[in-house]
Amino acid sequence: MLNKERQEEVVELCQHLIQKQSYSGHEDGVAGVLEEQLKKKGFDSVTVDKYGNVIGCIKGNRPGKKILFDGHIDTVPVTDETEWQYPPFAAEIHDGKIYGRGTSDMKGAVAGFVTAAAAFAEDTKKDFAGEIYVAGVVHEECFEGVAAREISSFVKPDYVVIGEASQLNIKIGQRGRGEIVLETFGKPCHSANPEKGINAVYKMAKVIEAIRTLEPTHHPVLGDGILELTDIKSAPYPGASVVPEYCRATYDRRLLVGETKESVLAPIQALLDKLMAEDPQLKAKVSYAVGKEQCYTGNEITGERFFPGWLYDEKDAFVQDVKKELEGMGYTPEITQYNFCTNGSHYAGEAGIKTFGLGPSKENLAHTVNEYIEIDQLTKVTDCYYGVMKALLK
């Protein structure tokens, strides 16, 4: 286990990160703390890219593999601070837990990466083969994997460790996520004479009912490729005695391994074609939502909302190497999958880089009121990250 001094270091760093509110697009405060700490702890280089991702690097004295530890530094907002038992940006410690927004999701892991990398470099005197990269990633809560594209292009890692919460278990896959937009187009008229128009909402209702008849795709490990309606809007809004000429419905689609943008939309498009052939007044379109956000650097980040699923075999050598190292340190990691989407959608799903998840805390604490991280989990995951470096940088 970590010595007492390093345990105190990782707790203090976690607290400093929590104390900087960092909603998506406003990560500058926490990015500044992270940049300062990476330099203070002797990282060989520290880079801030155009989106505001902070990337620290420690190079071993011998050539070898590159390992990237990925942790997002943005958080979801706190809607009502009065609901919290302890202030969400004070990082107070009570009963062995640090409380605050982002403790589990996922500034605790970021603090663990930094502390472990600095400790590994110090203990080995950099006499190891390869390079260690630590990335504090922006805008993950908006776009899983979009800002990460910039990081993997810069680093070109051989391995990626996603620090999302896993209770020290090894995660080798996840379903991805697609945000699908359905649109229907009608004809406006006064609502006192509805027969003179075409109500786009009625047409959408017909489409929604038909979509519920589609059979979800299935994967033996990851489960169903769920397609679920999440919102519906019409225009003009408010209607004010006007039959709506436009309706938009958004669906959340959970993506399985091997599914492509085209393969996911194909059955929906086929259904729309059938419905439009049956009803000449129905005009409908399906596409993916496109997100556009402002970064704290002033640059714009955009991305189509399609984040692929991924899955590795638990027998893969890099997975087993890490598992055996952690077991040798006294840990008992299970090999499972994440229930939610992560930046692994890019690294593994798009780029095909060997990726696994390993993080502190419980998955179900993310985005909750009174979010916390147990100090025991925080110090243990830091120890585990040290073990990962030993396992993969040989």
CA distance 62 to 351: 26
204: cis peptide before it, omega within 30°? no
What share of the chain in percent tops pLDDT 70? 100
* The amino acid at 185: F
Residue 1 has pLDDT above 80, yes or no: no
In the predicted model, what is the mean pLDDT of residues 28-43? 98
In the predicted model, what is the mean pLDDT of residues 224-249? 96
Angle separating helix axes 317-328 and 375-392, nearest 10 degrees: 130
Q: What's the pLDDT tens digit per position in 321-341?
A: 999 999 999 999 999 999 999
- pLDDT, position 310: 97
- pLDDT, position 328: 97
Residue 192 has pLDDT above 80, yes or no: yes
In the predicted model, what is the mean pLDDT of residues 387-392? 98
Residue 214 pLDDT level (bands cut at 50, 70, 90): very high
- pLDDT, position 68: 98
- Provide the β-strand partners of residue 231: 250
Give the mean pLDDT of the chain.
Answer: 97
From 164, 243, 238, select the one nearest 199 (Cα to Cα). Answer: 243
Residue 306 has pLDDT above 80, yes or no: yes
Q: What are phi and psi of 157, to 5 degrees?
A: -75, 155
The angle subtended at Cα 354 by Cα 10 and Cα 352, nearest 5°, is 130
Q: What's the pLDDT tens digit per position in 133-158?
A: 999 999 999 888 999 999 999 999 99
Residue 30 CB burial class (10 angstroms; 0-12, 13-18, ≥19): buried
- pLDDT, position 277: 98
- pLDDT, position 237: 94
Q: What's the pLDDT tens digit per position in 100-126?
A: 999 999 999 999 999 999 999 999 999
What share of the chain in percent tops pLDDT 90? 97
Residue 347 pLDDT level (bands cut at 50, 70, 90): very high
In the predicted model, what is the mean pLDDT of residues 170-185? 97
- pLDDT, position 394: 86
- pLDDT, position 372: 98
- In what helix (H) or strand (E) does residue 295 lie, and over which residues does it extend? none
